[in-house]
Structure 1
């Protein structure tokens, strides 16, 4: 079954320059707009931001972000249905990300039974019309403002684009390749056949017809597969099994793939999913509102020094505000030592330096690049790096 690529990318997709490695397609894990951005989310977003901006200096890069990969999921729609039942008259336009996230925690703690037909209606609206609950829209607006202040490249949080292919077409394509264990004729679920690769079975569609979050990701990525593209899957290591399975499935469709698992960032020495809370006081909104003497450029650089440098890829250390403050102070000093000339175009040696810091898969490694800034012999950073880090 042929799966054609969707229309040319909107602002949610970034395409830049040619490269000997072919085009790098960077696909970070989806984040449902149901809670604040936690330190784990910030780490993933900043690693992705530095990786894309740096790699774009030496190769072709495409960043894939589509809101519907996160909204056409029961994680989002079941929560929104719950809100409509319990708070039908709430004005979400002035709610904070923390207050919305606290509702999300309570929703999961109460373990209420959801109405499958009602949730299916919400899923259809999200899938076919791009509908997002006012609560989710408010969260996306808050994220957009926070990430804009942080200097993260435009993800397209305020835009809408249909997924590249339909659920029916995607499931049929998987079935044609023998990648499913399909119990729909018995009224049961559809599973990805993980055991063929020594992985567990993974439900893709429930017996009620509701999709697992992997299905919209496949619907977006599979039609993008081309011989000259390498897919880099960026995800937190708490869902490594799912992303290992996603990697295998994409490979079956002919994709070249690589994974970049990042360790989660515990808050208060406790590592848990954001749905269980524990992130209060350490969200991106909280960090942006923390008082200090550093300017915006130092905040942006300092956040990257901390989340991409101090917290390396496999770091298990918890979030520590005093270390983040120290990185912001270091950033202010580095920026003060930077030669005049602004960001400008690529320096004569910058492309060669970035090329040396590339991983085997062709992307510039954010940790190695950031560590080179912090090294004792590094000296003042080149002005051109400011465009990557601030």
Structure 2
């Protein structure tokens, strides 16, 4: 089946633990891909270089090499790496454009990832496996689909750039035709914004009949509105799915500011309880997709998550099996009624549909989607 729907979530830099906001995004993406694949051709677009060929990663890794050159990162905990990441952003530092460009070049040309980043990715793989989220390709390495030079040329040909590089200045992505402000794409020092590797991966994937589903947190909505417009100029059909961030203790902070201790994916997967792996997986989906809906503003509530896991155990105990289970075509018909936007299955509708008096039966096939 050809891919009619390309699900492209914003990638996560391997510099910190997975927080509740990350968990929500990963679960929503996983449900979209697995459920929508029952109705149409779906492809998940994930390339580690969209996250590693960024200043966010390169500057932190440069900092680690400069301040702790002899550390064996293979045994370091993700929490301690994350604590360094928080301190890095809290401390004043001198700009190092030449060093940053060298790190970006290694990541871009060779697929290099700092040992601390590789350690983080290995921890994520274990946690996502326990969560039942398909590995998006955390261990894979492949070049971005388009060179930076080719992208800049293509954007210029579409009159989407204001280029001051010949004057020693930055290059701006120009969205003023849509009433959007200029967005710096490349600094005067030649350092690209995080949108550059995203565009380098997505633009070559544009085909007639394809729809791009851009999944991102609502804190970067302005950038993704512009990104959707730019992709549209190249002929893409685009739907955005902005997800509200999950605040902790009423504080809605980026992970670079901390506040995630005790609520990371590693912490949640290690909580004591009697539920089995499937109940944990379904319960996490009932909470992060069925309770924390797309625009939910409520803070993370561990007691509510525990109730969701308990409810999941009950749903699984009553689930049909074997000849009692509805067939694949019947499930597809049910899922088709849960679609939203450009044809993808809405995770919130799906998770609410498996509960209640007229619950969608957790058949073996549906369990492969939800657990």
The residue that corresponds to 1:334 in the other structure is: 315
Q: Is structure 2 residue 22 aligned with structure 1 residue 60?
A: no
The separation in 2 between residues aligned to 1:194 and 1:266, in whole angstroms, is: 31
Unaligned runs of 5+ in 2: none
Deviation at 1:384, TM superposition (A): 2.1
Q: Within 5 Å, give how 1:72-151 maps onto structure 2.
A: 72-151=53-132
Verify: 1:287 aligned to 2:264, yes or no: no
CA–CA distance in 1 between the matches of 2:353 and 2:323?
A: 20
TM-score (ref. length: structure 1)? 0.93
* Residue 295 (structure 1) shift: 0.5
Q: In 2, are the aligned partners of 1:164 and 1:219 still within 8 Å (CA)?
A: yes
Contact 1:232 1:257 in 2 (8 A): yes
Deviation readout 1:83-141 (Å, 9 max, x if unpaired): 00000001100111111111000000003113111111100000000000000010111
2:230 to 249, 270, 295: 249
Post-superposition shift, 1:340? 2.4
**What is the CA-CA distance between 1:199 and the residue it aligns to?**
1.2
- Give CA deviations for 1:202-242 in whole Å, capped at 9, x if unaligned: 11101110110000000000000001210000000000000
Structure 1: unaligned runs, 5 residues or longer: 1-16
For the 8 Å contact 1:357–1:368, the answer to whether it is kept is yes
Using the TM superposition, give the Cα deviation of residue 200 of structure 1 relative to its aligned residue in structure 2, in angstroms: 1.6
2:204 is paired with a residue of what secondary structure?
Answer: helix
- Measure, in 1, the Cα distance between the counterparts of 2:13 and 2:121: 9
**Quick check: 2:14–2:117 contact (8 Å CA) kept in 1?**
yes
| CA distance in structure 1 between the partners assigned to 2:324 and 2:161 by the alignment | 50
Single out whichever of 346-355 and 281-290 deviates more from structure 2: 346-355
- The one-character-per-residue Cα deviations of 1:160-213 (angstroms, maximum 9, x if unpaired) are 000001101101110111101111011011111122211121111011101100
> Using the alignment, how far apart are the partners of 1:345 and 1:274 within structure 2?
43
Taking a change above 3 Å as real, the CA distance of residues 187 and 339 of structure 1, as seen in their structure-2 partners, is: same
Equivalent in the alignment of 2:294:
313
How many angstroms apart in 1 are the aligned matches of 2:224 and 2:325? Answer: 38
What does residue 323 of structure 1 align with? 304
Quote the Cα distance in structure 2 between the aligned partners of 1:366 and 1:220.
Answer: 25
Counterpart of 1:29 (choices 7, 10, 23) is 10
CA distance in 2, matches of 1:315, 1:343: 36
1:47 deviates by 0.3
Deviates more, 1:376-385 or 1:54-63: 376-385
SS of 1:374 mapped into structure 2: coil
Q: Cα–Cα, structure 1 residues 344 and 28, in superposed 2: closer, same or farther, change >3 Å?
A: farther
- Counterpart CA distance in 2 for 1:49 and 1:286 is 21
TM-score (norm 2): 0.97
Inter-CA distance 369–242: structure 2 relative to 1 (3 Å threshold): same
Q: Does 1:164 align with 2:145?
A: yes
SS at match of 2:345: coil
The Cα RMSD (Å) is 1.5
Partner of 1:4: none
Partner of 1:188: 169
Q: Out of 177, 180, 187, which is 2:158 matched to?
A: 177
CA contact (8 A) 1:191 1:205 kept: yes
CA distance in 2, matches of 1:139, 1:166: 27
User: Deviations 1:22-62 (Å, cap 9, x if unpaired)?
Assistant: 70000001110000100000000000001100000010101
